Amino acid sequence: MKFPVVLVLLLAGGALAPSQTNEPAFDVGELDVDTVMDTATQFAQDHLDDNVLKALQDVDRDKVADFLKNFQSALNGDSVADVAPLQDAANTVLPLLDAHPETQSYAAWLRARLDYFAAAAELQNLPPPPAPPGTNLPPRLPNPSFAAEQQVWKQQVAPRPWPAAAKKFVPELKTIFTAEGVPAELVWLAEVESGFDPHAQSPAGAVGMFQLMPATAKDLGLSLFPFDQRRQPETAARAAAQYLRRLHEKFGDWRLAVAAYNCGEGNVQRLLKRHHATSFEGIAPYLPAETQMYVPKVEATVAHREGAALEKLKAA
């Protein structure tokens, strides 16, 4: 796989974020900055693609790097409110990525996440949840309740027509999901992940319609070379369905399975154990900001497209 130029830009900006999708290769919270940078530098040496860098010679690299660094940091952080102030920068950076064929896959990734900024802004303006009973202390984390996130995402998703690509892909993808024993309604995960764009690529290395990370893809039997099978809609859909089935078998709950798909099953398992929780609601405030928004966004999308409740979907 070619080395993502946006990762080069992140290195230039002085920070590297872990994956937002599937199990991360490493946990920044458990490693020091030098270790993270050494890992990224080695990856750069192994995969650097000069052709991509040449295509971006005229781009304001500092602007792109600064935005990506801040956006990844906000998505990985524990405060949804930190995402909202980045909206203007995202709108500036998106055309820069869209202007070159070599970086349009990263533009597709960002485009599928533009609604995080609007949702975070709305959530930021809501009153904070009440203090714990019997205390005068403010909430430990400045995050909205899961119920508030559900309501905001319903409003965000409600006016949206089907993505143009969905009409082409959804019928076949549903057949694949059903064959893998996964509710067909979950194919709409592809709208949330990539807008049904099989070429979408994240700065962290997730690729394809279902944004599978390299390690996850290999574990599911996909080949990344000489052709990256994550870019094949049918093959990627089958792998994503298998992964979702595995996660549901482990957690017994679709909200937790979807959360684990986004931030890694190890992270979800640790939080459930640490907070003695059995549900998504029990760990939601402690998840990365992206995952806090990702799960209700998936839930709202499934409800809008299929009239189905995520938590009531039946595994085959």
**Digit-coded pLDDT (tens) for 151-187:** 999 999 999 999 999 999 999 999 999 999 999 999 9
* Active-site entry in 23, 149, 185, 193: 193
Can you count the helices (H) and strands (E) in the chain? Answer: 16, 0
**193 carries an active-site annotation:** yes
Q: Which CATH architecture has domain 1-127+140-316?
A: Orthogonal Bundle (1.10)
- Using an 8 Å Cβ cutoff, are 75 and 204 in contact? no
Across 142-155, average pLDDT: 92
Q: Of the given ranges (38-52, 112-126, 283-297), which has the lowest mean pLDDT?
A: 38-52
Can you say how many angstroms the Cα of residue 197 is from the centroid of all Cα atoms in its chain? Answer: 14
C-alpha separations of 62 from 12, 104, 246 in Å: 8, 18, 41
Spell out the residues 6+ positions from residue 174 whose beta carbon is closer than 8 angstroms to its own.
Answer: 184, 187
Query: Most distant CA pair in the chain: distance in Å?
Result: 61
Specify the amino acid at residue 266.
G
Residue 247 has pLDDT above 90, yes or no: yes
- Using an 8 Å Cβ cutoff, are 292 and 284 in contact? yes
User: Please, which pLDDT band fits residue 5 given cuts at 50, 70 and 90?
Assistant: very low
What pLDDT, on a 0 to 100 scale, did the predictor assign at position 53?
47
What pLDDT, on a 0 to 100 scale, did the predictor assign at position 28?
30
